[in-house]
Structure 1
């Protein structure tokens, strides 16, 4: 990360509230806020229209901010199948937008993000928000929590080497990430 800053777009995928956060990361793990917010869609709107609204808003953000990489929360199994499906569908929209622009995408688990930002993989949302505010020198944590989570994703990605353009080594990452990649290769 020597020289010019790396611009990272973090996305906390959600169908009702999709958190987005854009940061510039300089040498020495210094980071600066560029943009933060949420893309909202109404629950009573048809699914295809909701995904289109998210995709259109994401395209606008990518055109405006021109990030060098995207950090996206890895979809994980929850008890609420409906929530997982919406998250997975939005993640697909994000991956498609990245693919169309040849942007690298880093997938990060919630515990990985929490550990990178707070030092504790089981931190609660309040702790994540407070650390994001402290790291980015904000007067208060971004709200709603989806926005703070998107910034935490971007910080995690940058600090774990995602801000560089070099491809990740197959053995890089946490043991869970290595196991995930091995399973994907076997598939």
Structure 2
């Protein structure tokens, strides 16, 4: 299975493509999509670059599935909103290419690649290099994207098996108690 990992960012979006044959992983490609050609205040222009860049990566490498990092609230809410829009542009490009998209947190990816969820970027780079038997370390954004693809290669089959075994449904009723929905 060919897996595309996307590490979304408004200035730099990382991508990584691997092939998984059972437990064996093979590197295909990685890189970044940079939006520096658009003016910093031109948000729609930057989102278009991300959308078009992801579409080009999908067309070139023909992945069968994709994985994207989930964005959490940072210290600066404005930065979080902008990052969410970059993530949305990448997901829209993947979905419009008829790919299934799985989502993983940075903690899940780091745990799958390094072994603990609070690993530093350098540790992710080193382990991605080792796991994929690369000659040199990929850049930080590309390494994170490759890490997301590796995470999906390891966890994706388990998640699919769970989805087949059980039906996940929303509760049809809700009670409000102490400000929480149950």
TM-score tier by shorter-chain length is 0.7 to 0.9
Q: Distance in 2 between matches of 1:163 and 1:37?
A: 28
Instruction: Say whether 1:46 aligns with 2:42.
Output: yes
Taking the aligned partners of 1:77 and 1:45, their CA distance within structure 2 comes to 22
- Which protein is bigger by CA-based radius of gyration? 2
Q: Cα RMSD (Å) of the superposition?
A: 2.6
1:11 and 2:11 are equivalent in the alignment: no
Q: So what's the TM-score if we normalise by structure 2? A: 0.84
Query: What SS does the aligned partner of 2:163 have?
Result: coil
CA distance in 2, matches of 1:94, 1:44: 18
Distance 1:162 1:96, change over 3 A: farther
Structure 1: how far apart are the matches of 2:95 and 2:162?
17
List alignment gaps of at least 5 residues for structure 2: 175-180
Q: Spell out the pairing of 1:128-167 with structure 2 (5 A cutoff).
A: 128-143=124-139, 145-161=140-156, 166=160
TM-score, length of structure 1 as denominator length: 0.82
CA contact (8 A) 1:157 1:163 kept: no
Structure 1 counterpart SS, 2:31: strand
The match for 1:37 among 31, 37, 46 is 31
Once the two structures are TM-superposed, the CA of residue 102 in structure 1 deviates from its matched residue by 2.4
CA offsets per residue over residues 79-107 of structure 1, 9 Å max, x none? 12232122211111122122223211111
Q: Is contact 2:52-2:93 (8 Å) kept?
A: no
**Number of equivalent positions:** 170
State the partner residue of 1:113. 109
